[in-house]
Amino acid sequence: MILEILTGDRSELRQQSRSIAGIDGAIQQLVADMLETMRACHMASLSAPQCGKPLRLFVTEIYGESKVWMNPEVLKTEGEQASVESCASFPDLTLEVPRPQTMVIHTMQLDGSPVVQTISGIEARLVAHELDHLDGILFQDHLDAESLFEQMLGTTDEYTIQGEDPIASDDGPFAADSSFESGQAEIESDEEELQHILDLLADSGWKLALAAELLRDYELDEEQEAQLQRLDGLENAISESVTYWENELSAGSS
């Protein structure tokens, strides 16, 4: 089954995910659905929180090899790499984000057996991106307001990793969470249409918060400060509205 991918700076994507206590039929089905969704959307990785499940679980697939990562724990990191990433939860945003070059990860496989993996390069970048999702961290959180704004305007120079395989380029199929087709079903109900509207609201909310933070860097007169406070009020109103309609949507579907 193709799962819906949550988009925008939503409360569900800001949660700390809980560990998986045991592997049952529901977990196995979720993994199968996540793999199907990832492939249908032409992505290289996908986390459970992005699918509305606050579990410490994500899947990856590069060079034809798929992996399931459950209850992952970082044992060691070395070096640093930077490359432009995209995220299925922010389909219109690409950012240059620093990531470890090499990682040692303890994780649990689908059969319940523990394994320690040493990964590097593209795979380390994907895993670091998805690990953030498990802790409620979004990729824009790694940048300060000014850097984020500059990158959103496209003013930063293109960055490439020396010696990296061309098929793993920033706009290729191995960009974290990258998606070249939405993979989402056509809107078939009022519920789905409302969900898309909420996604738009959530997206506008975090961009408004960024704009307000940038304005605070300027010396503002009294009238300008008043206008900034109005922006803060609008940001809060959007956040409250998203929360309200999310609750209404949940109540209507239960």
Known binding-site residues for Fe cation equal 87, 129, 133
Number of residues that make up the chain: 254
Burial class (CB in 10 A: 0-12, 13-18, 19+), 162: exposed
Instruction: Tell me the binding residues.
Output: 87, 129, 133
85-97 per-residue burial string, b: 16 or more CB within 10 A, e: under 16: bbbbbbbebbbbb
Q: Under the phi-then-psi rule, with left for phi > 0, alpha for psi from -120 to 50, and beta for the rest, what region is 136?
A: left
Rg over CA atoms, the chain: 19
Q: Which residue has the tokens 């793999």?
A: 35
Q: Are 77 and 136 in contact (CB under 8 A)?
A: no
Name all contacts of 21-30 with Cβ < 8 Å and 24+ positions apart: 22/112, 23/70, 23/110, 23/111, 23/112, 27/55, 27/57, 27/70, 28/110, 30/55, 30/57
- Mark 183-202 as b/e (b = at least 16 C-beta within 10 Å): bbeeeeeeeeebbeebbebb
Q: Give me the active site residues, please.
A: 130
**How many other C-beta atoms lie within 10 A of the C-beta of residue 22?**
6
